[in-house]
A and B are shown apart, each in its own frame.
Chain A
Amino acid sequence: MDAAARLNPARLPVGTLLICAIAGAVYSSPQLQALLIYDRTAISDGELWRLMSGNFVHHSASHFVYNLVPLLIAGLLIEIQRHRHFVALCLISGALIGAALYLGKPEITVFGGLSGIVTAAVTFLCLHGLDKAGAWRWLCLAILIILAAKIGAETAFGSSFLLGAGPQNFVPIPESHVTGAATALLLFLWTKYKSLRRAAAS
């Protein structure tokens, strides 16, 4: 029984691996990058998929690695703990980040990077952690508070402190992190509301 449970495909972090594989494939193909990157002019011409797919494009190797590793960790933790809707969270937050940039940052003509989705994943993970008991709950609460302070500081000062990424060939966009965190909060509240309704009905 234990062996069967270990081999259960549901335990595999399929969503995380899928998202990371897509990001890797996009990074390795300049043609795909050109087709998928958030390009304000192309979006205005009707290529709306770029709002979401732009998150999967990265501007450099360090940009790619520094976004992919955290996504891998956050995704693994979410899926190992069997929190549902991880892939939906990635897709919805990606689309909302693109839409928010399009509406709120018209000066940005090109955008790429998974960090908004990573922020959404960490927020989602920690919000679910508040339901757990013990030290994990307090750890998640502490990280949520630090994350909120960090996003607030980024938004206020308009910059972030890139770790070891070297000189970047782009302008960091903290708004993507705000949108990611907000999306995670909304999705978490929606799942709670659904589970409460289900409990009341039963």
Chain B
Amino acid sequence: MRNSSNMHGLGCVVSALLLCFAIFGCATGSTRNATSIVDYLYPNTRDPVVTPSIPVLTLPTRVGIAFVPGGARGQEGGVFRGAQVFRGAQGVSLTEAKRIAVMQEVASHFKKYPFVKDIELIPSAYLAPRGGFANLDQIRTMYGLDVIALVSFDQTQFTDEGALSIAYWTIIGAYVIQAQKNDTHTMLDAVVYDIPSRKMLFRAPGTSHIKGSATLVNLSEQLRKDSETGFNEATKQMITNLDQQLVAFRDRVKERPAEYTVVRSEGYRGGGALDGWMLALLVALGVGFLWMRLRG
């Protein structure tokens, strides 16, 4: 009878220990979500290399923005690496709503430029994984685009336990002690392509690094928040870089007319310009005024 009781007690302790290990033991690891523009545009390495031709940029131009789809090499959706996968870990992917929000932010910033006629936000469903330029040609036909900005992202989140995680053994500690240390590295990369010529016009990255901490119970929620903050910060930096790259691109187009052909639509850009007649009239006025002043 007593032996049976001892056995029961030992079983309870072992079960409790196993439960604790199950709960607290798996609290470190990493998750990565990424899409690759190379995988999207050049999916088949056996294909000959796409040779770009000289782009003909018709101004004002219609621009599309789209997020590159994932779907290659286990990307986008959570690739867990490291010794252990943290509890409740889920690939914090960029939702379609968030993608649209990012694209709208970029679009609202670039609509102000007079050489941009219109900006179309392309939903992810219209881009086939590993679709390549054939897919871009379809989108070009559907939306009437000339230029497209393809946005890819790469976000990796690391979670480690701090020394305070020993408090998890008290159970309550898992709810109140912020012993989970999180690192979120995010990169957004916008690459602007002229679709007909297959020529990359320019690119601009945006990065961010978020450090945070969370309780064990709150870990997933905190990771989602860090993920969103990371994307927001990277988007802002990407827009700033896009601005700079756009200015550099405009200078490049002016400096290297052989590499880029710019065609302006009829009446696209007007200017108030003076001619020789007006300059002659003003010189006459100025000279006449001085002459009369000198004569008193």
Contact = CB atoms under 8 A, between A and B. Distances in A.
A29 to B, nearest CB: 10
Q: Give the interface centre of A35, A105, A170 by most chain B CB atoms within 10 Å.
A: A170
A35 B278 CA distance: 29
Nearest to B118: A41
Interface stretch (A7-15, A82-90, A133-141, A183-191): A133-141
Given A39-B114, A139-B285, A161-B277, A67 B266 contact: no
A76 B41 CA distance: 59
A52 interface: no
Contacts of B113: 34
Q: Give the interface centre of B60, B250, B273, B277 by most chain A CB atoms within 10 Å.
A: B273
Contact of A74 (B111, B114, B275, B282): B282
Contacts of A42: 111-112
A73 B282 contact: yes
B243 A31 contact: yes
A115 interface: yes
A28 interface: no
Given A109-B114, A161-B277, A139 B270 contact: no
Nearest to B293: A80
Given A109-B267, A171-B270, A122 B282 contact: yes
A109 B243 CA distance: 21
A63 B276 CA distance: 13
Contact of B271 (A39, A69, A168): A168
Nearest to A30: B247
A110 B268 contact: yes
Interface of B: 60, 111-115, 117, 243, 247, 250, 264, 266-279, 281-286, 288-289, 292
Nearest to A72: B282
A160 B243 CA distance: 35
Nearest to A139: B288
B285 A108 contact: no
B291 to A, nearest CB: 8
Contact of B267 (A69, A134, A140, A171): A171
A64 B94 CA distance: 46
Contact of A67 (B247, B273, B276): B273
Contacts of A119: 278
Interface in A132-153: 134-136, 139-140, 143, 146-147, 150
18 contacts: A35-B112, A39-B114, A74-B282, A109-B60, A109-B117, A110-B270, A112-B271, A113-B273, A115-B271, A115-B278, A118-B274, A136-B289, A146-B281, A147-B278, A171-B269, A172-B270, A173-B270, A176-B272
Contact of A160 (B117, B275, B289): B275
A169 interface: yes
A63 B273 contact: yes
B276 A107 contact: no
B183 to A, nearest CB: 34
Q: Give the interface centre of A105, A113, A126 by most chain B CB atoms within 10 Å.
A: A113
A37 B292 CA distance: 40
A70 interface: yes
The 4 closest A-B pairs by CB, nearest first: A113-B272, A163-B276, A115-B272, A170-B271
A136 B275 contact: no
B240 to A, nearest CB: 11
A101 B267 CA distance: 12
Nearest to A110: B114
Nearest to A73: B282
A177 B274 CA distance: 9
Nearest to A153: B277
Nearest to B114: A110
A109 B284 contact: no
Contacts of B273: 63, 66-67, 113, 115, 160, 162, 165, 168, 170, 172
Contacts of B281: 122, 143, 146-147
A171 B286 contact: no
Contacts of A41: 111, 117
A183 B281 CA distance: 19
A66 B277 CA distance: 12
Contacts of A117: 272
A161 B113 CA distance: 29
B267 A108 contact: yes
Given A108-B270, A113-B272, A73 B277 contact: no
B284 A139 contact: yes
Contacts of B270: 101, 105, 108, 110-112, 170-173
